[in-house]
Amino acid sequence: MKSDQSLDCVGLYCPMPIVKTAAKIKELKVGEVLEVVADDKGIKLDMPAWCQTTGHECLGMEEKGGEIRVFVRKKHD
């Protein structure tokens, strides 16, 4: 999946990936896609929950070799 920006959260545990995503998403324009790379499995449930609350769109995930890539489309400012 293609993304406009990437955020490296490898080695970080809850709540840091979410906290960093919330800060990073501000740098994107509406419609752009942010890729978050993490290795804490919690993100698989946390990111869709974050998206549901904040109104951004969780496009999907890719898991490979212990790394999880989550793609989030910014829906509003």
Partner 1 sequence: MVEKEKLTIVLFSGDLDHALSAFMIATTGASMGMDVTMFFTFWGLNVIRKNEGKIRSKGLMRKMLNMMNRGGSKRLKLSKFHMFGLGTWMMKKLMKELNMPSVDELIKMAQEMGVKLIPCTNTCGIMGISEDTLRGGIGSAAGAAFFLNEARQSKVTLFI
Annotated catalytic residues are: 14
Alpha helices in the chain (DSSP H): 16-24, 43-54
Q: Please, which residue, 2 or 45, has the CB nearer to partner 1?
A: 45
Q: Please, which residue, 2 or 11, has the CB nearer to partner 1?
A: 11
Strand order in the sheet with 57-64: 5-9, 33-38, 67-73, 57-64
Among 1, 6, 8, 22, which residue sits at the site for partner 1 (rule: CB under 8 A)?
A: 22
What is the C-alpha to C-alpha distance for residues 28 and 5, in angstroms, rounded to an integer?
8
Q: Which of 10, 28, 41 is nearest to 72 (CA)?
A: 28
Among 15, 57, 67, 75, which residue sits at the site for partner 1 (rule: CB under 8 A)?
A: 15
Binding of partner 1 by 43 (CB under 8 A): no
Binding of partner 1 by 58 (CB under 8 A): no
Among 1, 8, 16, 30, which residue sits at the site for partner 1 (rule: CB under 8 A)?
A: 16
